[in-house]
Every structure is written in C-alpha cells, then in structure tokens.
C-alpha cells in the first residue's frame, strides 16, 4: 500500500475513533436520567458513579504514548476500538451501583487510549496541519453533540441498556474494519504536515507553565460543561420537557463547537497560535458567567459561547504541541497534555454533585467561569512570553 493511501485510511479511522471517544464517554450523563427514573436512585448518587471513568480517562492517558512507542500506534488504536465496545456492553449489563462504577471505570480506561495515540497518528499523516486538526476536532465534537440526542432516543424507545449496546457493537465493527484496511503504522505523509517547522523558543519552561495552567483549567471547564449540560438544560431551560427534547437541545449547543473547530483549523494555517489562543479564551469566562446568572434563552447563548470556546481551544492546544514539540517526543507530549487536562478534571464529577446540592447550577457555572478566567490569564501570559521571544530573536539578528 502506498503512503498516500495509508494516510487517507488512517486519518478516516482516527477521525471515527475521535467521534466515538467523545460519544461513548458522554452516554452515561444523559442515560443517567433514564436510569434514575427506573432505579429510583438520585441524580447526585448516580452521576457520582462515573467518577472512576473520568479519572481513568485522564490518569491512564499518561502511559499511552509510551505504550504506542513500544507496541505501535496501529495496535493501540485497535485495542481502543475493541476495549471500548466490550466496556459498553459491560455497562449495559450492570444492575447495581457497584457494577456501574466498575464498568464505567473500564470504559474510562479504554477511552484514555485515543487522544495520545490518535493525535500523534493525525500529526504524522496530516497534509495540512490546521485543516486536518479542525476536521478531526469536528468529528470529536459531533460525537459529543450526538451523544445526548441519540442516547435519549435509544433510552426512550428501547431502554437505557440499548444506549450502550448499539454503540458498543459499532465500536467492535470499527475495530475489525480498521485491522483489515490499515495494515501498519507507516510514516505516511510525515514532513508534509502543515509544511511548518517546529517553533524554537528561548524560554521553554515559563511557556510550558502557562500552557499547563491553561490545559488544567480548560479540562475543568470542558468537563463541567459537557457532563452537566443535559441536567442544566433539564433544570434551567426545559423544565418538564421530555428526555428526547432535552437531549436535542444539548446536541444543538454542541454543534456550535463543531463550527468553531472548523474555523480554528483554517485560521491556524494563517495566523499565530498565541494570538488565536488569547482571542478564543476570552469567550469562556464570558459565556460561563452569562450562563451562571441567567435562565432560558440568555443561558442558552452563554452555553453556545462556552461550547465554541471549549472545542476551539482543543484544536489550538493540539496544534501547539505539534508546532512546539519535536516529532520524536510528540506521542509522550500528547500523553502529558491529556494527562494534565483529563486527570484533574476527572474530579469534576463529585464536584458537580457537591456544588449542585449546595447552590444549584448557578454555583456550578460560577465556579466554571472562574476557571475560564484562569484560562484567559494563562493565554495572555503565553502571548506575552512569545512576543518577548520574538523581540529577543529580532534584536539578536540585528
């Protein structure tokens, strides 16, 4: 198989895997509404059972880059498809809180494979970095966006177990197709990705500190918003609406993030990353702040702004790793990047339960807005440091 064909096929499966990664991880936050109605357990207790899934999602990201270097990226992505499918079937078989917690933890472990492995495969096989990152981001966003709506339809029509069984079988089918159609890792179109060299910086440690701060705070806002969104819509926009309509409104909010990712993908190929980062990061505290103090349509507008900023930041941060980190270290860099964002934010689930019990979603969204302000401050710091590096480089050249 020639390199171009291998790259095209690899990118297709990487994109599908990204969609599945976000879709499957967000089945439970919507299905929990149907599970609560069937079991009689409370929302706070049931949503707390997903803590292990989101902690494993982040914590287990750290070794995945090393495992990909050792066993091959193709092997690890195949493991992702099969492990995700089996864990979905496991959750569908659960009948007690302990079983839910166990299988959700296994599901989180499987989900941790994708981002360090898939992001590295994407950068290796990309032809235009910004465009391909944007398209890949849209697949992930569409997975997240469709999770609420499709889960609600399946749960309402066939029972909550079907919401896990159907995507589980699809994951298994994707794994078999991937092994049949993608024969190996390959180097693909390496060297063509974005056509841009690695950016050399004079002071990497301060830049790394600003980037890490933005990643951690971004992980918090991302998970607070995406996990709590169906319940926020239920309480503050659609009180009394059927589950299917609640899921549909949540899906609509997610779709705005997809549009932002396409836009960011195009802009990355034309403008500097620090400048784009500052502009986009301002939307998070604005959107979350508006959502925290409002209901109805103003709340919906705040959620749309927030979702656009959240998913746009994912594309920008992945591009930063690709542009600032040498190729030999990218798999491990992506592992650390997602470890920071997902591990800390994995504790969002019990935090949502605690804050919701004490102050409702006004308090939950207010805390999220404070994390959004932290992201904006980190983006300003990153921008200032890169400007100083540029000024020093110009002075040295003169």
- Lowest mean pLDDT: which of 155-159, 194-198, 382-386? 194-198
pTM here is 0.74
116: Cβ contacts below 8 Å, ≥ 6 apart: 61, 64, 65, 68, 331, 334, 335, 338
Instruction: Count the Cβ atoms, other than its own, within 10 Å of residue 191.
Output: 9
Q: Which residue pairs, CB below 8 angstroms and at least 24 apart, start in 234-241? A: 234/33, 235/360, 235/361, 236/295, 236/296, 236/299, 236/361, 237/295, 237/296, 237/299, 237/300
pLDDT higher than threshold 90 for residue 198: no
User: Which structure tokens are listed for 121?
Assistant: 């495969």
What is the structure's pLDDT at 241?
Answer: 57
User: Which structure tokens are listed for 343?
Assistant: 């591990």
> Which is more confident, 252 or 209?
209
pLDDT higher than threshold 50 for residue 340: yes
Closest CA to 108 of 32, 174, 55, 172: 55
What is the residue range of 204's domain? 3-397
Enter the DSSP assignment of 269.
T
Number of domains in the chain: 1
Phi-psi region of 131 (alpha: psi -120 to 50; beta: other; left: phi over 0): alpha
User: Which structure tokens are listed for 335?
Assistant: 């592992």
What is the structure's pLDDT at 389?
Answer: 59
Q: HSE on the CB side for 338, CA within 13 Å?
A: 30
**What tens digit of pLDDT does each residue of 213-270 get?**
999 998 889 888 877 877 787 777 655 556 566 666 766 777 777 788 888 888 887 8
- Lowest mean pLDDT: which of 61-65, 200-204, 294-298, 330-334? 200-204
What is the structure's pLDDT at 191?
Answer: 45
Q: H-helix or E-strand containing 398?
A: none
pLDDT higher than threshold 80 for residue 342: no
pLDDT higher than threshold 80 for residue 67: yes
Separation CA 57–CA 60 (nearest Å): 6
> Which is more confident, 101 or 388?
101
**What tens digit of pLDDT does each residue of 146-170 get?**
887 788 889 888 888 999 999 999 9
Separation CA 221–CA 363 (nearest Å): 13
What is the structure's pLDDT at 188?
Answer: 53
Mean pLDDT (whole number) for 316-325? 85
| pLDDT confidence band for 332 (50 / 70 / 90) | confident
Domain containing residue 296: CATH number: 1.20.1250.20
pLDDT higher than threshold 60 for residue 196: no
- Lowest mean pLDDT: which of 68-77, 237-246, 333-342? 237-246
Separation CA 370–CA 289 (nearest Å): 8
Separation CA 362–CA 339 (nearest Å): 28
Mean pLDDT (whole number) for 314-343? 82
What is the structure's pLDDT at 166?
Answer: 95
- Burial (CB count within 10 angstroms: exposed 0-12, middle 13-18, buried 19+), residue 394: exposed
Concatenated DSSP letters for 176-241? HHHHHH------TTTT-STT-PPPP-S-HHHHHHHHHHHHHHHHHHHHHHHHHHHHHHHHHT-TT-
């Amino acid at each position: 198989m020639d390199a171009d064909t291998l790259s095209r096929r690899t990118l297709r499966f990487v994109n599908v895997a990204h969609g599945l990664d976000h879709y499957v991880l967000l089945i439970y936050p919507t299905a929990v509404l149907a599970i609560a109605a069937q079991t009689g357990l409370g929302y706070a207790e049931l949503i707390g059972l997903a803590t292990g899934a989101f902690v494993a999602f982040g914590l287990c990201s750290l070794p995945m880059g090393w495992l990909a270097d050792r066993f091959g990226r193709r092997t690890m992505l195949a493991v992702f498809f099969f492990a995700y499918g089996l864990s979905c079937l496991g959750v569908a078989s659960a009948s007690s809180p302990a079983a839910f917690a166990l299988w959700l933890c296994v599901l989180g472990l499987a989900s941790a494979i994708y981002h360090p492995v898939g992001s590295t495969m994407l950068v290796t096989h990309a032809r235009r970095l910004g465009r391909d990152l944007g398209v890949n981001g849209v697949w992930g966003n569409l997975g997240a966006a469709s999770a609420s709506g499709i889960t609600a339809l399946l749960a309402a029509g066939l029972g909550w177990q079907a919401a896990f069984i159907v995507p589980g079988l699809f994951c298994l089918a994707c794994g078999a197709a991937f092994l049949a159609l993608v024969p190996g890792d390959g180097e693909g179109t390496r060297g063509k990705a974005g056509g841009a060299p690695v950016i050399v910086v004079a002071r990497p440690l301060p830049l790394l500190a600003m980037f890490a701060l933005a990643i951690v705070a971004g992980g918090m806002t991302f998970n607070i918003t995406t996990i709590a969104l169906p319940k926020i819509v239920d309480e503050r926009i659609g009180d009394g609406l059927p589950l299917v309509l609640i899921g549909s409104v949540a899906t609509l909010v997610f779709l705005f993030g997809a549009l932002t990712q396409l836009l960011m993908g195009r802009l990355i190929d034309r403008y500097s990353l620090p400048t784009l980062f500052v502009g986009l990061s301002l939307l998070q505290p604005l959107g979350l702040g508006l959502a925290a103090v409002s209901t109805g349509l103003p709340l919906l507008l705040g959620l749309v702004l927030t979702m656009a900023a959240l998913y746009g930041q994912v594309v920008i941060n992945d591009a930063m790793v690709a542009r600032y980190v040498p190729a030999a270290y990218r798999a491990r860099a992506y592992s650390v990047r997602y470890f920071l964002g997902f591990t800390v934010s994995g504790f969002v689930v019990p935090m949502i339960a605690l804050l919701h019990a004490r102050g409702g979603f006004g308090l939950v969204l207010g805390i999220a807005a404070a994390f959004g302000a932290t992201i904006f401050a980190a983006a300003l710091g990153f921008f200032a440091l890169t400007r100083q590096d540029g000024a020093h480089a110009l002075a040295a050249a003169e």
